[in-house]
A and B are shown apart, each in its own frame.
Chain A
């Protein structure tokens, strides 16, 4: 059983650029959630995808968007990067219909915006 993987591990971008982060869900999982973790803070919910459709969204602007593919892998896209977007981005996969404690997190992608 493969775990949740994310790529790339680290990324450096400049203000105004666009970035795509990728996540491969754990085998058998059909739901993926994305979180932003700023330095010294806990993860903040960005959105969740279930069966390729957005299934809930946190307090993030529309320049944060996502995709989920038929194989349940996922992308997080951020347009018009701002300095405050510098953070660790975590994805978590789960099987919809189970309790919330069965979300499995990936190791994260650390994004630095200069």
Chain B
């Protein structure tokens, strides 16, 4: 039973356009959400987070949107760059100091030059 779902295994986007990665969760107790990026042969790297008290958080080219009623969050990358090509994981936690992240299966983003 997957509590965090990323229904698109892969996504291809043209350089300069917007990339939108989606994530759905089932556990209404989750109140802290994160996105990680992973390159081959490296560990996941933290990208951006959002607390359930917000519906948007922005950091440079990256914006995360949270829709609590739909239990849905999305990561927008604008403009997309070839260096953004990686696997993106959505993760959720019950509290922002919680030790138990629940990760989605990941979406592989390919940004084409």
Q: Which residues of A contact B (CB under 8 A)?
A: 4, 31, 33, 35, 40-45, 48, 55-56, 58, 90, 92, 97-108
Contact of B44 among A43, A97, A99, A102 (CB under 8 A): A43
Residues of chain B lying within 8 A (CB to CB) of residue A31 = 99
Given contacts A42-B4, A43-B44, A101-B34, contact A56 B100 (CB under 8 A): yes
Q: Name 9 interchain pairs, CB-CB below 8 A, sorted by A.
A: A45-B102, A48-B99, A55-B99, A56-B99, A99-B49, A100-B93, A100-B98, A101-B49, A104-B43
List residues of chain A with CB within 8 A of the CB of B100.
45, 48, 56, 58
Given contacts A99-B96, A105-B44, A108-B43, contact A44 B49 (CB under 8 A): no
A58 to B98, CA, bound (A): 12
Main DSSP-derived SS at the B contact region: loop
Interface size class of B (residues with CB under 8 A): 20 to 34
Structural contact, B106 and A42, CB atoms closer than 8 A: yes
| Bitwise interface map of B from 70 to 113 toward A, beta carbon under 8 Å scored 1, else 0 | 00000000000000000001010100111111111110000000
Q: Would A42 and B104 count as touching, CB distance under 8 A?
A: yes
For B99, list chain A residues within 8 Å (CB).
31, 33, 45, 48, 55-56
Asked whether A43 lies within 8 Å of B89 as measured between CB atoms, the reply is: yes
